[in-house]
A and B are shown apart, each in its own frame.
Chain A
């Protein structure tokens, strides 16, 4: 029987693409922080399916592709005053999961010594120089002189990637002759952006041919889901040390932001360093003193693959996921990708640690709070990294010029655990929710309402004066969210804690022990 999620959206563009003649992948592993989950793969290149899964150590993961983060790539960005060019480059770095550790601009009031010190301390693996057009070349040359002074004796010596007009690039080439330098085209153009992303990913992959980068796998997965569903789909991934947002269109276009290091495990401390402890703490549905919470964050950050066995540890992981997604959205917005692109997807699939939370409702709550969908959205989550593994297979097939989306489509549906449908409501004085599920039901919605309606299967939802759409309700039914956007949390504990606890209770996301 055809799973519902495809049944209602119909077949979009399913032109079969040529398949690779290579033998299909027989085994694939998904790396965690210290271990990996290895899946056996059945089927052929036309239709891949997953068999058994086992937790293995990285050494035991040999024998097939490994979906992993790749090498951490620290990038120092040196730019002229052209903000559009800088924004495009940052979008490329975000799409390629590079870590931008330093941004120096030629029009900033910094001395040569300050620039050189910052570059020395950044310990960048790659310097991306945005020369722009020739009129800004003098300022960029001074930046590059500071870079040469600071990093010429760095060990290993950083690589340099230059983007700019030929005349400006030639001038820089003279300054940067100590370094291995490559030139890429303007990242404001699609081909330039793709070239930058491809180049950075190649550096992250290093010499290990067995690696499928996690971000590539997620993009392939999103593409497969969107193509199969025929609607825009988003994959939201929060792993131990990375947070990814991917939106795919049915035709295959991708918008992605992969933040490294930012996650709910090894990079938990980085979330706190970026967001502040109070912003993480505000998502915990009871009062917690800040110093003891910080201790837990630090211990988690230095304990690979730790399992939360007490409610406070679990609440911390949920809170970190909230902030990681919020910051990923903010970073994407800063590079010109509006948060709306991810929020308006019709299907959202969560993967990584956020998909491994013990209760499905906890994952749904993170999606509702942190992502705040703006359309009627079907929410599903990964099971045991199966979807990431399938994404890895699709990426591997795509790398061999095949069509991975078709190969994994059926299997991806089978391994997707449906959660429910989120219905965002901008409640007015007389807002009515109409749900068609065989029969039609209506419900009055008050401002601030946040509750679930029991439902199962394909549903048609419409809100008077608001959104309407179709979705597939899973075991959690329909989550009606009339809290408003952006979600405002009271600053004081006395008001915030009951509000957050009420939201947890509304979806039954709080364990009895808490």
Chain B
């Protein structure tokens, strides 16, 4: 999960109702619109094949509109005959959403429009009605869980040190459209204030789970909650509650501040668009330890050694342990920073 510059592939899931999308091979920049479409209301089913008197398999030959097209009321969807024409027509202004296997048209009124923007500078690798995949080079840092819509903006530091909490007082409208780096914790107050000030996204070691519930609702889980709704974007890098970022992770964030960046919430990943030499990433990142009461995560610093015999903890669990300057930690509660979690 540590920093790496390389080639990445990002899949952007699309809602239903795609009207346009970027073609495969198209070059895009993070923030560019790669797909657009509409939300639709209740559909009307228009007799197609039966109305125009052809088998469903032959309907394509007499269809006058492409699927997904917007049509006006009375527009001819399919037609046969010349003098005595048989036609299927749109009952109202809307979109031709779908054609059934039995040869009927689903027409629906447009009630809203949506766009999906790229979160990576690169080339469209795969493009379909369900997803558009972009491939490109960038610095990337994988997080633990992300919440809210994708975010694109300039990376900015919101704290002075990795162990600091992002103070709401430091957030104002001058940070609009930035991706703000917090330290060990971003509280719900900071999240909501940042959203109100137009901050694009927040990145920090941890966010309080209770705060995430306040912002995103009770169905939020530790797996993240990507979505399209207009809500704050939060990327938790290490854990929940409070989790100081290791210096080796925080320093590149500081070095890359000012560069364009994006948060792709479905993969819980931060991308920074800067050259490969823009940041120096230390080879070794300290391991992480889960607090003995599960209340937080911290990087292990200082001298450590594995206890010569299993250690008995207050819960009466006897297990191999790592002796740190802050006390013994069960060995299973210690993981490399980039271990899959």
* Interface hits, A276-335 → B, CB 8 Å: 276, 290-292, 294-314, 316
B101 & A177 in contact (Cβ 8 Å cutoff): yes
Cα A362 to Cα B293 in complex, Å, equals 18
Chain B: interface size category: 35 or more
Identity of the chain A residue whose Cβ is nearest the Cβ of B311 in the assembled complex: A309
Asked if B271 CB lies within 8 Å of chain A CBs, one says no
Q: List chain B residues, Cβ under 8 A from A313.
A: 292-294, 315
Asked if B88 CB lies within 8 Å of chain A CBs, one says no
* Interface hits, A138-159 → B, CB 8 Å: 141, 145, 148-155
| A/B interface sample: 11 pairs, CB < 8 A | A34-B340, A120-B130, A148-B98, A149-B106, A270-B221, A294-B209, A295-B240, A301-B221, A307-B333, A312-B293, A312-B294
B128 & A153 in contact (Cβ 8 Å cutoff): yes
Chain A nearest CB: distance from B126 CB in Å?
Answer: 8
B291, B317, B341 — most chain A CB neighbours (10 Å): B317
Checking B101, B213, B332 against A307 with a beta-carbon cut-off of 8 angstroms, the contacting residue is B332
Identity of the chain A residue whose Cβ is nearest the Cβ of B133 in the assembled complex: A155
Asked if B194 CB lies within 8 Å of chain A CBs, one says no
Flag the segment in A8-16, A110-118, A369-377, A472-480 that touches B.
A110-118
Chain A nearest CB: distance from B180 CB in Å?
Answer: 22
Query: If the complex has contacts A113-B17, A145-B101, A155-B130, are A292 and B219 also in contact, measured as CB distance less than 8 A?
Result: no
**Interface of B with A (CB < 8 Å)?**
13, 15-17, 39-43, 97-98, 100-102, 106, 108, 126, 128-131, 144-145, 208-211, 213, 218-223, 239-241, 290-297, 313-317, 319, 329-330, 332-333, 335, 339-341
A305 & B332 in contact (Cβ 8 Å cutoff): yes
Q: List chain A residues, Cβ under 8 A from B314.
A: 309-311, 511, 513
Chain A nearest CB: distance from B222 CB in Å?
Answer: 4
A34-B340, A149-B106, A513-B315 known; 7 new pairs, CB 8 Å cut-off, are A113-B42, A150-B16, A174-B102, A291-B209, A303-B333, A307-B332, A358-B317
Q: List chain A residues, Cβ under 8 A from B290.
A: 299, 303, 306
Identity of the chain A residue whose Cβ is nearest the Cβ of B16 in the assembled complex: A116
A296 & B294 in contact (Cβ 8 Å cutoff): yes
Checking A153, A175, A296, A359 against B293 with a beta-carbon cut-off of 8 angstroms, the contacting residue is A296
A308 & B43 in contact (Cβ 8 Å cutoff): no
B209 & A297 in contact (Cβ 8 Å cutoff): yes
B16 & A117 in contact (Cβ 8 Å cutoff): yes
**Interface of A with B (CB < 8 Å)?**
34-35, 111-113, 116-117, 120, 141, 145, 148-155, 174-175, 177, 268-270, 272-273, 276, 290-292, 294-314, 316, 358-359, 511, 513
Checking A155, A269, A300, A309 against B315 with a beta-carbon cut-off of 8 angstroms, the contacting residue is A309
B295 & A358 in contact (Cβ 8 Å cutoff): no
Chain A nearest CB: distance from B150 CB in Å?
Answer: 16
Q: List chain B residues, Cβ under 8 A from A145.
A: 98, 100-101, 106
Q: List chain A residues, Cβ under 8 A from B341.
A: 302-304
Identity of the chain A residue whose Cβ is nearest the Cβ of B56 in the assembled complex: A174
Chain B nearest CB: distance from A510 CB in Å?
Answer: 10
B144, B220, B222 — most chain A CB neighbours (10 Å): B222
A-B pair count, CB < 8 Å, reads 180
A299 & B16 in contact (Cβ 8 Å cutoff): no
Cα A308 to Cα B294 in complex, Å, equals 8
Q: List chain B residues, Cβ under 8 A from A111.
A: 41-43
A511 & B130 in contact (Cβ 8 Å cutoff): no
A112 & B108 in contact (Cβ 8 Å cutoff): yes
Cα A33 to Cα B249 in complex, Å, equals 26
A113 & B222 in contact (Cβ 8 Å cutoff): no
Cα A35 to Cα B297 in complex, Å, equals 20
Chain B nearest CB: distance from A514 CB in Å?
Answer: 8
Interface of A is mostly: helix
B316 & A298 in contact (Cβ 8 Å cutoff): no
B97 & A113 in contact (Cβ 8 Å cutoff): yes
Chain A nearest CB: distance from B228 CB in Å?
Answer: 10
Q: List chain B residues, Cβ under 8 A from A300.
A: 294
B100, B220, B314 — most chain A CB neighbours (10 Å): B314
Cα A294 to Cα B13 in complex, Å, equals 29
A113 & B294 in contact (Cβ 8 Å cutoff): no
Cα A270 to Cα B218 in complex, Å, equals 11
Chain B nearest CB: distance from A85 CB in Å?
Answer: 23
Cα A298 to Cα B242 in complex, Å, equals 12
A292 & B221 in contact (Cβ 8 Å cutoff): no
A120 & B15 in contact (Cβ 8 Å cutoff): yes
Checking B15, B98, B131 against A155 with a beta-carbon cut-off of 8 angstroms, the contacting residue is B131
B239 & A269 in contact (Cβ 8 Å cutoff): no
Chain B nearest CB: distance from A307 CB in Å?
Answer: 4
A309 & B292 in contact (Cβ 8 Å cutoff): yes
Identity of the chain A residue whose Cβ is nearest the Cβ of B43 in the assembled complex: A112
A290 & B317 in contact (Cβ 8 Å cutoff): no
A175 & B101 in contact (Cβ 8 Å cutoff): yes
A175, A291, A304, A307 — most chain B CB neighbours (10 Å): A307
Q: List chain B residues, Cβ under 8 A from A358.
A: 315-317
Chain A nearest CB: distance from B6 CB in Å?
Answer: 23
Cα A270 to Cα B106 in complex, Å, equals 37
Q: List chain B residues, Cβ under 8 A from A303.
A: 290, 294, 297, 333, 335, 341
Q: List chain B residues, Cβ under 8 A from A301.
A: 221-223
Q: List chain B residues, Cβ under 8 A from A177.
A: 101
B41, B129, B221 — most chain A CB neighbours (10 Å): B221
Query: If the complex has contacts A291-B209, A302-B145, are A269 and B241 also in contact, measured as CB distance less than 8 A?
Result: no
Cα A306 to Cα B294 in complex, Å, equals 9
Q: List chain A residues, Cβ under 8 A from B294.
A: 295-297, 299-300, 303, 306, 308, 310, 312-313, 316
Cα A310 to Cα B13 in complex, Å, equals 41
Chain B nearest CB: distance from A177 CB in Å?
Answer: 7
Chain B nearest CB: distance from A361 CB in Å?
Answer: 11
Q: List chain B residues, Cβ under 8 A from A112.
A: 42-43, 97-98, 106, 108
Cα A367 to Cα B291 in complex, Å, equals 28
Cα A178 to Cα B144 in complex, Å, equals 36
Q: List chain B residues, Cβ under 8 A from A117.
A: 15-16
Q: List chain A residues, Cβ under 8 A from B128.
A: 153, 155
Identity of the chain A residue whose Cβ is nearest the Cβ of B240 in the assembled complex: A298
Q: List chain A residues, Cβ under 8 A from B223.
A: 269, 301
Chain B nearest CB: distance from A287 CB in Å?
Answer: 15
Cα A153 to Cα B222 in complex, Å, equals 29
A175 & B100 in contact (Cβ 8 Å cutoff): yes
Query: If the complex has contacts A120-B130, A149-B98, A302-B145, are A297 and B222 also in contact, measured as CB distance less than 8 A?
Result: yes
Q: List chain B residues, Cβ under 8 A from A299.
A: 222, 239-241, 290-291, 294-297
Cα A171 to Cα B191 in complex, Å, equals 51
B333 & A306 in contact (Cβ 8 Å cutoff): yes
Checking A152, A175, A294, A306 against B332 with a beta-carbon cut-off of 8 angstroms, the contacting residue is A306
A154 & B130 in contact (Cβ 8 Å cutoff): yes
Q: List chain B residues, Cβ under 8 A from A311.
A: 314-315
A113 & B221 in contact (Cβ 8 Å cutoff): no
